[in-house]
Amino acid sequence: MNSPCSLGIAASVILACAHAPNQRAISSAELRAEIDLHSCAYWEPEVHVWSVLWLDERCPRTPATTTLGRAVEAAIAEARLVNFLATAYDEVDAALTVRPTPTQPAADALVRAALWRDPLLERAVLDRALAKLSAHHLRCEDCQAPAAPAPRTVSWAYFYPYLAAFVWPVQSDTGQIDVYTCSGINGAASLLADETLTQAGKLAALAFVMDDAMSRRILELARGPVSRSVPEVAREIEALLNSPEGRALACASLAHKQWFTGLTIEPC
């Protein structure tokens, strides 16, 4: 569908489509190059392998001194938590383990190229970057905005199992109960396959890891003073997730990620 800017049939429409004054034009190549500075390969000296850092604060770079750099920094701060949903980790890990071992510039290039091949990472970082340009008096002349997620509203009761699936207690061979959060060890297999709710469940579960008080409480439930079974720990974790405090934390996290998921939880 053509945008109103392409029709040219009314002066009012043409004027409305005019660029805001004092906006400096940049290219998609400039934008991507600035974004690339936030991803790199990190050498792990203990095990002699490269690790992948996407949209990561640990990548060495100087503080942003340009308007574009500051706009991208603000975008990365919002997009960063989506990186653990990426699907390209195995691909880039395999590329980094070739022999001879890649140099730092070569390893960085592999990591950055893989980011742009990962549809979730590309959508997240471009969405946030393009959203920040205008506030910094910039516009991208040849950037193609990623498709926005379809708006969707579900009840807390319908969403909740997708959160609980990624805060998952498991008993180890030693008898200790560990809680796996946002990991491949989870209870998602028993749920109806739903990419949006699965992603939202992982993002909400991550909020419990990042909240120090909640993280400690979950660990205390798993490592309580008395020996308990996995079902008992699971019930206590579910009660915590479903408590007003737990629900508020999950809902606040999802509200900040609505730009990515399109999801609204009601009531929340």
pLDDT in tens, the chain (268 residues): 433 333 333 333 333 334 455 789 999 999 999 999 999 999 999 988 999 999 999 999 888 899 999 999 999 999 998 998 998 888 999 999 988 999 999 999 999 999 999 999 999 999 999 999 999 999 999 999 999 999 999 999 999 999 999 999 999 888 889 999 989 899 999 999 999 999 999 999 999 999 999 999 999 999 877 778 999 999 999 999 999 999 999 999 999 999 999 999 999 8
Is 206:81 a contact under the CB 8 Å cutoff?
yes
Helix (H, G, I), strand (E, B) or coil at 73: helix
- The pLDDT score that the predictor gives to residue 2 is 39
- The pLDDT score that the predictor gives to residue 224 is 78
Nearest to 24 by CA among 134, 132, 128: 134
Model confidence over 221-234: pLDDT tens digits?
998 777 789 999 99
Place of tokens 């003073």: 225
Distance CA 166, CA 189 (A): 11
Question: Which tokens go with 265?
Answer: 């939880």
Model confidence over 16-28: pLDDT tens digits?
334 455 789 999 9
Distance CA 134, CA 116 (A): 23
Nearest to 201 by CA among 230, 127, 192, 142: 192
- The pLDDT score that the predictor gives to residue 166 is 97
